[in-house]
Amino acid sequence: MTGRDGGEAGLPRITFDKVEKSYGSTLVLPPLDLTLEDGEFTVLVGPSGCGKSTTLRILAGLETLSGGEIYFDDRPIGKLEPKERDIAMVFQDYALYPHMNIARNMSFALRLARAPKSRIDSEVNRVAEMLNIAHLLDRKPAELSGGQRQRVAMGRALVRDAGTFLFDEPLSNLDAKLRAKMRTELAEMRDTIDKNMVYVTHDQVEAMTLGDRIVVMNAGMIQQQGTAEELFANPVNRFVAGFIGSPSMNFLAGEITADRVQGQGFDLPLPPGLAERAGARAVEVGIRPSSIVLEGGAPIQLRVIVSEYLGAQSVLVTRCGNVDVLAEIASVDRIPSGQTRDFGVRTEEIMLFDRATGARI
Amino acid sequence: MLANANRLTPYLFLLPAVAVMVVALLYPIGYMIWASFLDWNPSQRIGEADFVGLRNYFNLLGDAAFHESLWVTVKFAVLVVGIEMVLGVGLALLLDRELRGMTLLRTVFILPMMIAPIVVGLIWRYMYHPTVGTFNRILDSLGLPTAPWLSDGDWAFASVVIADIWQWTPFIFILSLAALQSLPKSAMEAARIDGATGWQLIWHIKIPLMMPVLIVTCLLRLIDAFKVLEVVLVLTNGGPGLSTEILALRISRTASEFRELGYAAAMSNVLLILLLILTLAMFLYTKITEARAARVRAAIEEG
């Protein structure tokens, strides 16, 4: 019905070409270039107000472009109505139609397209089976729990059989346990359903677990894009380093002297080459909580403020000079609060950032 | 002792309101019901009037003028409320957008509602005037035949309907607009992505979601339209003939011109019963929606 062959061949490559958005004289999205390969699960991630939702809504056609163009393969779509873009969308608040039962919610698009009744029924039933919501088809949205509504919203998008799926923070209204469960199901769906998927979230855990490609945004700008591993191992700047990874990276102000970096309460050797690249300048030293160990590594003295026991791992909130430093260590012994003791830092994992620009050195 | 006093406190606070209700509402209604069983003219005190039982009501059954009034009232109410609903909701759908000057436009739209009904009647009477009225002068200057706005029965009824529509469409407009603006934005966006055109959005999403507000608005307007008096009184005083004599006017004339207070009271009671039915319909509707909401809540707590 949609006129696509199915499979990768039918999915468009989505290109943002200097896409811009402003409200009146306020520029909310400076020119943005981005290419999403066909069949990819792309996650736009960033703090609230970073422009990720606006980007998604522009792609959906719910917001107009103030400049630039979006291409599906070579076809410009920036002026098309949402319905002409072959997209389906899952909203943060699910956006179900309150007056229709679940079956009618899911079949709305097909009914508008005047699809034959037999096809509507079979599609709705197929998707409802897949998402385990077949027993809810007669109910109204108000009679469902949050998790069930979430599934229905997914189901409504899936029934569409559109080429591109857009997700606008679909899990953020769920409680933590349900969110983890739905995240797993989404990851499963990603592998079984061959579609373009663009997913917006502020939660870096969702981004890391779901995205083939993660696009980190801040203040309307793309900071970096890549796989979860690339972003974690090789952040290009302080923002990405601090945003990706949980608990997040520690930053300490320091100065480079010869092949060491020093600051309040620490004096650490640097791996070969890094000090030369940095030269003599003011830096921020980035140390991941997981780079701090109890045995071995370059010595550093930290005062333990709080010990958060999480089971196999503990997160220690410690203080170095007057800066809080998080350390993630195996819970071998309970480390009492208030104690100052020696820790080790795996120096090969230390990152340096320019203190003025935030760029990775 | 103290616990007892605490339980009674709310009623103590309600007492003034209850007292006002009894004096201002229940007493006159009781008086009216009692009067409807009497053959009573204004020169008598109520105690001197003869008790005639249900005779006033039996007389109403056979009173052609009363039947005509009732019919005019029902025709009037259904017609004006129907047209006002279509226009009011239509305007709200049109004006539910962010445009420059929209706030001002909305204010202008609701002006007619703020004018006292008597004044509305006067304004329209001048505009309907056969020789110097706005409408006939416009028709005349265009070389068209003028219309007997208030002097022909059918025209007079239409004129009264137009004036009422002019005055009360804004009421439906502002309530519909408020309803529209409180609709969930994302459901509308979802519908656009699902492929709904502007009209489909209105039919399948907006109107059904506005329905609870629209039903209550419609009933409120019906209740009001059944009681309309001032505008008609000033415009036509019920004429020509009985063509615009709505029930409220008939009642007031029965009491003041025909000097039959008991008979007027019986008519008032019939009107009251009509309005009660409408009001009960409204209560029933809210009760049903509340019961449904309660069932939904129960279903969620179970599941």
Q: Residue type at B246?
A: I
Which residues, including other chains, have CB under 8 Å from residue A325's CB and lie 6 or more apart? A250, A252, A287, A292, A302, A317, A318, A319
With CB atoms and an 8 Å threshold, state whether A82 touches B303: no
Could you please report the per-residue DSSP string of A220-287?
TEEEEEE-HHHHHH--SBHHHHHHSSSSPPEEEEEEEETTEEEETTEEEE--TTHHHHH-SSEEEEEE
- Whether A154 and chain B come into contact, CB under 8 Å, resolves to no
With CB atoms and an 8 Å threshold, state whether B194 touches A160: yes
Distance separating alpha carbons of residues B181 and B126, to the nearest angstrom: 38
* Interchain CB contacts (distance < 8 Å): A and B: 75
Of the residues A1, A64, A77, A99, the best mutation for testing chain B's interface (the one with the most B CB atoms within 10 Å of its CB) is A99
pLDDT value at residue A326: 93
SS3 A298: strand
Angle A66-B194-A29 (CA atoms, 0-180°, nearest 5)? Answer: 20
> Confidence class of residue A2 from pLDDT cuts 50, 70 and 90?
very low
User: Taking a C-beta distance cutoff of 8 angstroms, is the pair A241, A249 a contact?
Assistant: yes
Q: Is residue B257 part of a domain?
A: yes
With CB atoms and an 8 Å threshold, state whether A99 touches B184: no
**What are B206's two structure tokens?**
């907006």
Same domain, A228 and A263: no
Residues spanned by the domain of A338: 249-354
pLDDT value at residue B14: 92
pLDDT value at residue A1: 35
- Whether A113 and chain B come into contact, CB under 8 Å, resolves to yes
* Chain A: residue whose CA lies nearest to B195: A83
Distance separating alpha carbons of residues B71 and B66, to the nearest angstrom: 8
Q: Is residue B2 part of a domain?
A: no
> Confidence class of residue B9 from pLDDT cuts 50, 70 and 90?
confident
pLDDT tops 80 at residue B188 = yes
Judging contacts by C-beta atoms under 8 Å, the chain B residues touching residue A88 are 193
Report chain B residues touching chain A, CB-CB < 8 A.
184, 186-187, 189-196, 200, 204-205, 208-209, 211, 293, 296, 299-300, 303
Q: Which H or E element spans position A303?
A: strand A298-309
Closest by Cβ to B193, choosing from A82, A99, A144 = A82
With CB atoms and an 8 Å threshold, state whether B184 touches A144: no
Chain A from 120 to 139: CB within 8 A of any B CB: 139
Encode A79-104: b = buried (16+ Cβ within 10 Å), e = exposed.
eeebbebbbbbbbbbbbbbebbbbbb
Q: Is residue A360 part of a domain?
A: no
pLDDT tops 50 at residue B156 = yes
Please tell me the distance in Å from A214's CA to the nearest CA on chain B: 25
Distance separating alpha carbons of residues B37 and B264, to the nearest angstrom: 11
Peptide bond into A269 cis (omega under 30): no
User: Taking a C-beta distance cutoff of 8 angstroms, is the pair A289, A326 a contact?
Assistant: yes
Q: Is residue A43 part of a domain?
A: yes
Please tell me the distance in Å from A144's CA to the nearest CA on chain B: 6
Virtual CA dihedral for B211, B216, B217, B218, nearest 10 degrees?
Answer: 90
Encode B9-35: b = buried (16+ Cβ within 10 Å), e = exposed.
eeeeeeeeeeeeeeeeeeeeeeebeeb
Judging contacts by C-beta atoms under 8 Å, the chain A residues touching residue B209 are 98-99
pLDDT tops 70 at residue B254 = yes
Judging contacts by C-beta atoms under 8 Å, the chain B residues touching residue A93 are 184, 186
pLDDT tops 60 at residue A9 = no
pLDDT value at residue A111: 92
Q: What's the structural domain count of chain A?
A: 2
Please tell me the distance in Å from A96's CA to the nearest CA on chain B: 6
| CATH, residue B217 | 1.10.3720.10
Rounded percentage of chain A residues whose pLDDT exceeds 90: 36
Same domain, A170 and A273: no
pLDDT value at residue B150: 84
How are beta strands A260-263 and A313-320 bridged, if at all?
unpaired
pLDDT value at residue A8: 43
pLDDT digits (tens, 9 = 90+) for B216-226: 899 889 988 99
Q: Is residue B22 part of a domain?
A: no
User: Taking a C-beta distance cutoff of 8 angstroms, is the pair B37, B53 a contact?
Assistant: yes
pLDDT tops 80 at residue B42 = no
pLDDT digits (tens, 9 = 90+) for A172-210: 888 888 888 888 888 888 888 888 999 999 998 899 999
Q: Is residue B201 part of a domain?
A: yes
pLDDT value at residue B90: 94
Distance separating alpha carbons of residues B93 and B77, to the nearest angstrom: 24
**ipTM, two decimals:** 0.81
Distance separating alpha carbons of residues A16 and A32, to the nearest angstrom: 7
Same domain, A112 and A210: yes
pLDDT value at residue A219: 87
pLDDT tops 60 at residue A295 = yes
**What are B58's two structure tokens?**
């039996």
Q: Which residue has the tokens 């439906």?
A: B172
Same domain, A102 and A152: yes
CA neighbor of A71 nearest in space, from A11, A7, A109, A16: A16
Q: What's the structural domain count of chain B?
A: 1
* Chain A: residue whose CA lies nearest to B212: A99
| CATH, residue A100 | 3.40.50.300
pLDDT value at residue A239: 94
Of the residues A143, A158, A159, the best mutation for testing chain B's interface (the one with the most B CB atoms within 10 Å of its CB) is A143
Distance separating alpha carbons of residues A316 and B256, to the nearest angstrom: 91
With CB atoms and an 8 Å threshold, state whether A108 touches B208: no
User: Taking a C-beta distance cutoff of 8 angstroms, is the pair B236, B150 a contact?
Assistant: yes
Q: Is residue A161 part of a domain?
A: yes
Q: Is residue B28 part of a domain?
A: no
pLDDT value at residue B1: 56
Same domain, A201 and A87: yes
**Total-model pTM:** 0.79
Virtual CA dihedral for A62, A64, A68, A74, nearest 10 degrees?
Answer: 50
Q: Is residue A120 part of a domain?
A: yes
DSSP state of B290: H
Segment B139-161 shows an average pLDDT of 86
- Whether A81 and chain B come into contact, CB under 8 Å, resolves to yes
pLDDT digits (tens, 9 = 90+) for A310-341: 888 889 999 988 889 999 988 877 788 888 88
- Whether A62 and chain B come into contact, CB under 8 Å, resolves to yes
With CB atoms and an 8 Å threshold, state whether A83 touches B299: no
Segment B136-144 shows an average pLDDT of 87
How are beta strands A26-36 and A14-23 bridged, if at all?
antiparallel
DSSP state of A339: -
With CB atoms and an 8 Å threshold, state whether B186 touches A91: yes
Please tell me the distance in Å from A3's CA to the nearest CA on chain B: 16
User: Taking a C-beta distance cutoff of 8 angstroms, is the pair B230, B164 a contact?
Assistant: no
Closest by Cβ to A98, choosing from B192, B209, B299 = B209
pLDDT tops 60 at residue A3 = no
Please tell me the distance in Å from A160's CA to the nearest CA on chain B: 8
Same domain, A259 and A215: no
Distance separating alpha carbons of residues A190 and B280, to the nearest angstrom: 54
Q: Residue type at B209?
A: L
Distance separating alpha carbons of residues B171 and B90, to the nearest angstrom: 13
DSSP state of B172: H
With CB atoms and an 8 Å threshold, state whether A143 touches B189: no
pLDDT tops 80 at residue A223 = yes
